[in-house]
Amino acid sequence: MQVARDCHPSEACFVPDNYKVYGVDQYAAVKGEENMKQEIAQRGPLACGIAVPDALEAYKGGIFCDTTGDVNIVHDISVVGYGIENGNKYWLVRNSWGTHWGENGFVRVCRGSNNIAIESDCAMATPVDTWTTDKRHTTTDAERNSPLNDKTVYEFPQPVYSLTQKKVVQPEEHSMFLSKPKNGGCRVEKAFFVGGEKKNVPHAWDVLKDVPANVNWANMNGTNYLSWSKNQHIPRYCGSCWAQGTTSAIADRFNIMNKLSTTTPVSIDAQVVVNAQAGGTCDGGNPGQVYQYAHDTGLVGGSCE
């Protein structure tokens, strides 16, 4: 049920009869300005770890360039483009703190100097078509009737399963509801892939091309390929940036791959990734494992359609 479920008020949640599964065929780490530019221009947005100095939380607009030297990575975002303004190079970054923050949920970060460590810890995955009509997952009776499907009708907030305590605990007992890291971060780990990267063909940075001076997937020849901007802290605080940045970046790549056809996903659901603990919890996690989960299990759309 953690892969896809729907719920009605005052009723037990249930598995839909069928639903789309979104998969990837490759994943890898990316770092360095030129490699990032090649990957973004050729194939789409990246998920990257960053530091969060106080000034970034207070950011309102313009090109952000930290002056404190903070390179302690605690947060994950998606880099959706790059450009130059008045001679100043920048990365175009989508955050997951809501559209009220920054430039409608975005921030432009100094490019070329590894400011806030943005050029040192990125990850990418390439989508593969596993979601068109004839490839939808059909729920079996075994899956629908599995004892793993919790059919209890809960009030909100619900109890959660604690990996550390190995039991179901009430919200007030679980650490994810008790504390939050400083500066809006989510204790994001450096992205890594258990067993190494998954590579079938050369990566974008292996095949160098002349890339444009400015790339913005929110306005690529007049078309916006980006999935929606989200707020990871609604309905309550959750340090899930490791799941938000990765699922947003791969959702963009599905849009690019589909050329915004009618099968384009509006978003890829980060909640499923958190529920499955496919990299971490609301206390933080490893972005790399999200792409491994996408490869091995698959992701679902925000509506579990």
| Domains located in the chain, CATH noted | 18-296 (3.90.70)
Q: What is the pLDDT of residue 129?
A: 82
241-250 burial, b for 16+ CB within 10 Å, e for fewer? bbbbbbbbbb
Are the beta carbons of 150 and 10 closer than 8 angstroms?
A: no
Q: Give pTM, 2 decimals.
A: 0.80
State both tokens at 96: 């997951």
**Per the omega criterion (within 30 degrees of 0), is the bond before 157 cis?**
yes
**Cα distance between residue 185 and residue 50, in whole Å:** 9
Q: Where are the alpha helices (DSSP H) in 110-225?
A: 141-144
Q: What is the pLDDT of residue 5?
A: 74
Hunting for tokens 């990418």 — which residue is that? 124
Q: What is the pLDDT of residue 35?
A: 97
Q: Which amino acid is at 226?
A: L
Q: What is the pLDDT of residue 266?
A: 65
Q: Which amino acid is at 48?
A: C
Q: Which amino acid is at 71?
A: V
Q: What is the pLDDT of residue 55?
A: 97
Rounded mean pLDDT for each run of 10 residues along the chain, 305 residues in total: 69 82 92 97 97 96 97 96 97 95 97 98 92 79 84 67 74 51 62 87 88 93 88 81 94 86 69 88 90 91 69
Q: What is the pLDDT of residue 59?
A: 97
Helix, strand, or coil here: 255?
helix
